[in-house]
């Protein structure tokens, strides 16, 4: 990686953050695949460390949380016990987004269980500087995790969606079940019902699928190593929070949240490597 010029690094990162696969990036830049992977891992670690440091005492008001599925190496049912020990299998990314600034203050990569919810919520609670309104889906793991992390100092509601039967037939094999409605349930505090929603969190998950090739369904572009998967997600959120101008806000989420005072360039992002 040390042999790469800053111009080459910028070209590689520009390809990766726009949703290109590793091999597509090789063809577009001429940089060897292993060099790209090494750059991704080191830059991803730097991006994760920087966001962990600056996302503290955040003055946010309305947080939405959701989980997005992917897998590493093989789907859970196809991975052996030995492969699962190395990180293969189903992989869930828990995400939080502020509905006003669109900032993603934290994320957690793991299973979709109570342990992951506990770590995710405690991480989120440690980054906030004031009481917030929190909305999640109906996943039961949130209930005890939120109570343990926030206690009574939160306005918490869940949006429970009601689905019909899954569609049948080959032409709708990958279509989701029809949503028949949604129920808003107050769990703690006094949340404003007008803002009980997970729409922004779900839209952010779509942005992840569109911006990271390894999240695209029904392809062979999935992550082969958990380390690469974690690095790609950290790089994605660094670019999303600091470099990418939000179409509605006209500024970056980090600027809207008061964390940054300008739009970061890719050169600034790469400079995190030191």
Q: Which domains does the chain have, with CATH numbers?
A: 6-273 (3.30.420.10)
pTM to 2 decimal places: 0.92
pLDDT score, position 131: 97
- Those residues whose C-beta lies under 8 Å from the C-beta of residue 215, and which sit 6 or more positions away, are 68, 70, 208, 209
pLDDT score, position 164: 67
Give how far Cα 212 sits from Cα of 64, 74, 80, 247, Å.
21, 17, 26, 19
pLDDT score, position 200: 96
* Residue ranges, the chain, pLDDT below 70: 1-2, 163-180
CB count within 10 Å of CB 217 equals 10
Q: Is 187 helix (H, G, I), strand (E, B) or coil?
A: strand
């Amino acid at each position: 990686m040390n042999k790469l010029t800053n111009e080459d690094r910028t070209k590689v990162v520009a390809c990766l953050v726009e949703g290109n696969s590793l091999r597509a990036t090789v063809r577009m830049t001429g940089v060897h695949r292993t060099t790209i992977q090494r750059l991704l891992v080191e830059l991803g670690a730097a991006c994760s460390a920087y966001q962990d440091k600056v996302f503290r005492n955040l003055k946010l008001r309305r947080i939405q949380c959701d989980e997005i599925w992917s897998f590493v190496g093989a789907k859970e049912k196809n991975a052996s016990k030995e492969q699962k020990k190395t990180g293969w299998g189903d992989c869930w990314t828990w995400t939080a987004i502020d509905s006003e600034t669109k900032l993603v203050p934290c994320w957690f990569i793991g299973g979709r269980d109570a342990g992951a919810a506990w770590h995710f919520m405690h991480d989120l609670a440690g980054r906030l500087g004031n009481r917030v309104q929190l909305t999640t889906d109906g996943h039961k793991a949130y209930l005890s995790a939120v109570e343990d992390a926030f206690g009574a100092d939160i306005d918490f509601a869940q949006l429970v969606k009601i689905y019909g039967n899954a569609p049948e037939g080959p032409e709708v094999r990958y279509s989701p079940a029809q949503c028949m409605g949604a129920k808003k349930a107050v769990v703690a505090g006094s949340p404003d019902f007008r803002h009980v929603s997970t729409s922004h969190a779900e839209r952010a998950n779509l942005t992840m699928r569109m911006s990271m090739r390894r999240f695209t369904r029904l392809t062979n572009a999935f992550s082969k190593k958990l380390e690469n998967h974690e690095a790609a997600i950290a790089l994605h959120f660094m670019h999303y929070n600091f470099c990418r101008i939000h179409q509605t806000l006209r500024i970056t989420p980090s600027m809207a949240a008061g964390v940054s005072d300008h739009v970061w360039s890719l050169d600034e992002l790469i400079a995190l490597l030191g």
